[in-house]
Amino acid sequence: MSPQTAPDPEELRDACREGSARPLRIGIICHPTYGGSGVVASELALSLAARGHCVHLFSYSVPPRLARSPGPVQMHVAQGIPYPLFQSTPHDLAIVSSILNLHRSEGLDVLHAHYTLPHAVSAYLARAAAFFDHDRRAPRMVTTLHGTDITIVGNDPSYAPLTQFVLQQSDAVTAVSNDLARRTRDTFCVGFGGPCAIDVIPNFVDAELFHPRAAGGATHAVPSAVHVSNFRPVKRVPWLLRGFELATRGTNARLTLVGDGPDQAAARSVVRELGIGERVLFLGERDALPELLAPADVFVLASSEESFGLSALEAMACGTPVVATRVGGVSEVVDDGVSGLLAPPDDLEGFAARLKELLFDRKRAMAMGSAARAIAETRFARGAVVARYEALYRRLVDGVRET
Ligand code: GMT
């Protein structure tokens, strides 16, 4: 079954029936905002459901990638109630209650938290409460580290002890890149008081949806770059605009910016300052990413931190090569000189030079785009990566060793 297939109620009932031997009953918790961790969690949920498992997704609203799919994942929106005593509504506690309700009525084998805070805490609480339900086995708890949950948020002194605790308490921890696993070990495994195993399971891409022909094979008449992000400071969109201006001064090259977030106003002000308003288009948040990525000559990413760079992988699957800063796990996704070009994060001229190199050499960009597509289809193939999560769950639930 494809992840996009509409649910067959009978299949769904079979997968979720108590005691059904093969399918696993899996609860996934994620952020519903536009952002890589919610995308990966939603795509994983859909792929696992397509493989016959009974999959529930918990969040405080429906993640966009799930919302647009008819796939047989059961969505549980838990928002809690506002109350004058709360400065903000503790939806993470409502999520714990929602998980417990489901576990008590149907049972869950695995709880998979995407992005450590607050989801691993919610999973830990739900599992702890489930230990007291003697007629059911408590779910196994998996935590997937995505990036800033370790490098910016989780290691801040205000959260670090709790982050370390929930990592210790997880039955398995995975990271989306070797670099993130290494950084997690360096920060959190010192004085861990036990083994600090982190499985590296990279992100994956739906190479049927993200495809070079996603826009019907259309290309732009003028050299065109595209960027997709949540415009957080870590994405350095204003810096990216300066690099674009340097690379394309005096030309008609264009840049399309997709997404929205805190740095949108700063980015607009840099566009005004540089006088490139005619050549830069702010599109805001969009779901039609394949159609926007495929016709571009180059995808650009100028982050100061990036554990993986899912948007770069989605561009690669569309046959669009990447120019990016060499930070975190980006070099595990983009092969420098093969599927794109990388520059040091503090070298604006170097970044601009690489962008210029690729943006104005369509033949080279197309060759790198083909290589990028091939890498996306093999190293980051959905089926193979999802099978690794499945094997991990089986190991935890049945004690079956991964092969
Ligand atoms: O860390 C964030 O900014 C949020 C997070 C998300 O939810 O989008 O992004 C991280 O997870 C993605 C999916 O695994 C990765 O592709 C991103 O590289 C990573 N972001 C950073 O490390 C900055």
Measured in Å, residue 98 CA sits from the centre of ligand 1 at: 26
Average pLDDT over residues 169-179: 97
Closest by CA to 40, choosing from 67, 69, 63, 70, is: 63
Is the predicted pLDDT of residue 344 greater than 50, yes or no?
Answer: yes
pLDDT of residue 295: 97
Atom number of ligand 1 nearest to Cα 232: 3
Average pLDDT over residues 254-264: 98
pLDDT of residue 11: 66
Report the DSSP pairing between strands 140-145 and 110-114: parallel
Is the predicted pLDDT of residue 19 greater than 80, yes or no?
Answer: no
pLDDT top residue among 389 and 5: 389
> According to DSSP H, which parts of 21-172 are helical?
36-50, 64-67, 91-105, 116-130, 148-151, 160-169
Closest by CA to 303, choosing from 368, 351, 363, is: 351
Measured in Å, residue 326 CA sits from the centre of ligand 1 at: 15
- Domain 3-204+381-397 sits in CATH 3.40.50.2000: yes
pLDDT of residue 194: 67
Average pLDDT over residues 310-334: 98
Closest by CA to 123, choosing from 138, 105, 107, 104, is: 138
Atom number of ligand 1 nearest to Cα 37: 7
Measured in Å, residue 204 CA sits from the centre of ligand 1 at: 13
138, two tokens:
């408590």
Name the residue of 33, 65, 148 to mutate for ligand 1: max ligand atoms within 8 A of Cβ. Answer: 148
Residue 302 φ/ψ, nearest 5 degrees: -125, 35
Is the predicted pLDDT of residue 164 greater than 80, yes or no?
Answer: yes
pLDDT of residue 15: 64
pLDDT of residue 20: 52
- Residues 92-146 have pLDDT tens digits of 999 999 999 999 999 999 999 999 999 999 999 999 999 988 789 999 999 999 9
pLDDT of residue 91: 96
Residue 109 DSSP class = S
Residue 179, helix vs strand vs coil: helix
Average pLDDT over residues 234-249: 98
**Any idea where the domains of the chain sit in the sequence?**
3-204+381-397, 212-378
Question: Is it true that 3-204+381-397 and 212-378 share their CATH fold?
Answer: yes
Name the residue of 308, 333, 389 to mutate for ligand 1: max ligand atoms within 8 A of Cβ. Answer: 308
User: Are residues 238 and 264 in contact, defined by beta-carbon separation less than 8 angstroms?
Assistant: no
Measured in Å, residue 176 CA sits from the centre of ligand 1 at: 9
Q: What is the CATH number of domain 212-378?
A: 3.40.50.2000
Measured in Å, residue 230 CA sits from the centre of ligand 1 at: 10
Average pLDDT in the chain? 94
pLDDT of residue 156: 93
d(CA 130, CA 127) in angstroms, rounded, equals: 5
Amino acid letter, 231: F
Residue 137, helix vs strand vs coil: coil
Atom number of ligand 1 nearest to Cα 35: 8
Atom number of ligand 1 nearest to Cα 203: 14
pLDDT of residue 34: 83
- Residues 35-86 have pLDDT tens digits of 899 999 999 999 999 999 999 999 999 999 999 999 999 999 999 999 999 9
Name the region of 137 (left: φ>0; alpha: ψ -120 to 50; beta: rest).
beta
pLDDT of residue 186: 93
Residue given tokens 């990216």 in the structure block: 240
What is the CB < 6 Å shell around ligand 1? 31, 35-38, 40, 115, 146-148, 176, 203, 232, 234, 303, 305-310, 328
Name the residue of 29, 37, 42, 151 to mutate for ligand 1: max ligand atoms within 8 A of Cβ. Answer: 37
